[in-house]
Amino acid sequence: MEKQILTTKNVKLSYGDFEALHGIDLAFNEHEITALIGPSGCGKSTYLRCLNRMNDQIDGVNISGEFKLHDTDIYGENTDVVELRKHIGMVFQQPNPFPMSIYDNVVFGLRVAGVRDKAKLDEAVQTALKQAAIWDEVKDKLDQNALALSGGQQQRICIARALAVSPDVLLLDEPTSALDPHSSRQIEATLLQLKEQYTIITVTHNLQQAARIADRTAFFLQGDLIEAASTKQIFMNPEHEQTRDFITGRFG
C-alpha cells in the first residue's frame, strides 16, 4: 500500500444555492501523479481549489467534509491558510507570471515568507528553474521581464515559482490547455521528473495526457466522483459504464 499524503472525505461544496460537489471521497498517494478528468463544469477545478483553500475568498461558498494533509486538518480552526499554501502549491490554467523579472517571480514565495538572504534566494532560483526544466533557457536573462517569454516558458516559470517554496503537493489546473502541443509535452516531461520529489494533482481535459503521465486517474461527473483507480484500469478496464463512455469519447 502506498503512503497517502492527502485525503479527503465526503467533500461537499456549494456556491450559494448551487451544490457543485456532492460528497467526494478521494485520497492521493505520495510521489504520484493523479489526474482529475471529466467533462467541463463537473467540478474538477472546484475540488482542486478546495485542497489549498482557494475557494475561501469566493463569496457565498459553503464547504464541508474532511480534508487532511498527512494528519493535519486543512480546514482546522488552528490551520493557517498562508502556511498551508506553502505546503500545497498551485499552477493555474493561464500562465500568470507577475509583470516582473524572472528572478523576482521565482523568489516571490520565499520573499513573502521573509527570506532575505541573497545566496539562499539565488540557490533557490537555480534549483527551482532546473526542476521546472527551464534553467538553460533563461539562466542568462534572469533579470528580464517574465512576460517577454513564450507561453510555454511562462508556464514553466510558474511551475518553478510554485516549486521554489518547496511544497509537498503541487496542484495544477489544466496547466497545458493554453499551450501548443510541443510546450505541453515539455511540461508533461517536467511533471514526470517532478514526481520523484512532489505529489502532483493535475486537472486535465486531455485524456491522452492523463494516460501518458498519471499514475492514478479520477473521473468526475456533475459534482460526483464516479471512479478513481490506476490510470491503466481507468483506461483499459473501467468499472463504470459512464467512465467507459467518457474515455471512448461518447460524451463530454
Ligand X SMILES: Nc1ncnc2c1ncn2[C@@H]1O[C@H](COP(=O)(O)OP(=O)(O)O)[C@@H](O)[C@H]1O
* Site for Mg ion, rule CB under 5 A: 45
Asked if 20 touches ligand X (CB under 6 A), the answer is yes
What spatial distance separates the first Cα and last Cα of the chain, rounded to whole Å? 33
- Partners of 22 in beta bridges: 12
Smallest distance from other proteins to CB 207, Å: 26
Which of residues 20 and 207 has its CB atom nearest to ligand X in the complex?
20
| DSSP category for residue 3 | P
Provide the Cα torsion 211, 212, 218, 219; round to 10°. Answer: -40
Q: Among residues 22, 31, 68, 86, which is the contact residue for other proteins, using CB under 8 A? A: 86
Smallest distance from other proteins to CB 84, Å: 8
Cβ 44 vs Cβ 211: under 8 Å: no
Q: Among residues 27, 63, 147, 229, which is the contact residue for other proteins, using CB under 8 A? A: 147
| Alpha helical stretches, state H, 132-150 | 135-138
Which of residues 43 and 109 has its CB atom nearest to ligand X in the complex?
43
**3-class secondary structure, 186:** helix
Q: Among residues 42, 102, 154, 161, which is the contact residue for other proteins, using CB under 8 A? A: 161
Which region among 12-20, 158-166, 205-213, 225-233 touches other proteins (by CB under 8 A)? 158-166
Which of residues 164 and 211 has its CB atom nearest to other proteins in the complex?
164
Nearest to 37 by CA among 250, 241, 246: 246
